């Protein structure tokens, strides 16, 4: 092989190595994307610790409910009667009025006997007996006052028991799934009524290499790319404290403002790192 051919081969090798090196340098400096997914900010299986049949279901799947809206009502006829009884008992004042009148009369008798005693017209035994009867009347009066307070508490308990038969939304969100319908029974083993999700805010989850996870801080803003190519701004919601031993990654969650409900949970997204 001639020297000229050797020079050409060596020159060609240098060119190939230079191109390969420049490509590697460019690849190392270029950002790469991590795929993630979007989930509801909150998702609960709305349940009741009360047992009984559902008398009325006020929502359907896809219904938007506000915090405090009624989702369902259980059969509450027994609780309504209990509240009516407790209310009437709590409002009754006859026992207290009778005890107050008795005490008033006993005090008057005791005071009159004291006057007669000073005049020498009443014996000591009559005074002692009058004081004893007045003490009993006072005890009966204070007992009636305490019973009135207890009856008031019993009425409030009956109100709470009746209110617990009404299932309300704990936060604003959508009904994703109906678990029970009207006429179905809620039991301790199957207390679920429906699935409620909060999507006015969303969470985007990514598994980031543990070496790069330290560059993310709660509250920082990043742009996420959605499946249709559009971008949305999100803030770091949480940075995982554990490393997945199998993948060597840390889970990072971003919160996305979704007050217009344009983004659906379950959608895929990507993050440039």
Instruction: Kindly state the average pLDDT of the residues 245-271.
Output: 93
List the domain boundaries for the chain. Answer: 32-74+173-272, 77-164
Tokens representing residue 65 in the block: 């409910």
CA distances from residue 134 to 94, 107, 114 in whole angstroms, order as listed: 20, 6, 13
Give the pLDDT confidence score for residue 18 in this predicted structure: 52
More confident of the two residues 215 and 6: 215
Mean pLDDT value across the chain: 87
Q: Does domain 32-74+173-272 have CATH number 2.40.30.170?
A: yes
CA 56, CA 48: separation in Å to the nearest integer? 14
With 60 as the cut, is the pLDDT of residue 143 above it? yes
With 80 as the cut, is the pLDDT of residue 241 above it? yes
Considering the entire predicted model, what is its pTM?
Answer: 0.71
Give the pLDDT confidence score for residue 22 in this predicted structure: 46
With 90 as the cut, is the pLDDT of residue 232 above it? yes
pLDDT digit string, tens, across residues 25-64: 433 445 678 999 999 999 999 999 999 999 999 999 999 9
pLDDT digit string, tens, across residues 161-202: 999 999 999 999 999 999 999 999 999 999 999 999 999 999
Give the pLDDT confidence score for residue 123 in this predicted structure: 78
């Amino acid at each position: 092989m001639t020297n000229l051919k050797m020079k050409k081969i060596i020159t060609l090798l240098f060119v190939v190595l230079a191109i390969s090196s420049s490509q590697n340098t460019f690849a190392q400096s270029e950002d790469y994307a991590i795929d993630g997914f979007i989930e509801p900010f909150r998702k609960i299986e709305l349940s009741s610790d009360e047992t009984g049949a559902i008398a009325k279901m006020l929502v359907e799947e896809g219904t938007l409910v506000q915090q405090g809206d009624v989702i369902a009502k259980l059969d509450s006829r027994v609780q309504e009667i209990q509240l009516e009884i407790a209310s009437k008992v709590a409002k009754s004042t006859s026992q207290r009025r009778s005890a107050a009148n008795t005490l008033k009369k006993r005090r008057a008798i005791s005071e009159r006997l004291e006057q007669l005693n000073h005049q020498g017209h009443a014996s000591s035994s009559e005074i002692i007996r009058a004081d004893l009867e007045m003490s009993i009347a006072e005890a009966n009066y204070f007992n009636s006052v305490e019973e009135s307070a207890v009856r008031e508490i019993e009425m409030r308990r009956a109100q709470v028991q009746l209110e617990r038969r009404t299932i309300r939304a704990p936060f604003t969100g959508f009904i994703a799934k109906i678990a029970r319908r009207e006429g179905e029974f809620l039991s301790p083993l199957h207390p679920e009524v429906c699935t409620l999700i909060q999507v006015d805010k969303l969470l985007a989850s990514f598994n980031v290499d543990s070496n790069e996870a330290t560059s993310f801080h709660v509250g920082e803003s990043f742009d996420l790319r959605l499946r249709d190519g559009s971008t949305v701004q999100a803030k770091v919601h949480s940075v995982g404290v554990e490393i997945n031993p199998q993948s060597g990654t840390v889970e990072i969650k971003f919160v996305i403002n979704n007050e217009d409900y344009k983004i659906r949970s379950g959608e895929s997204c990507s993050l440039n790192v």
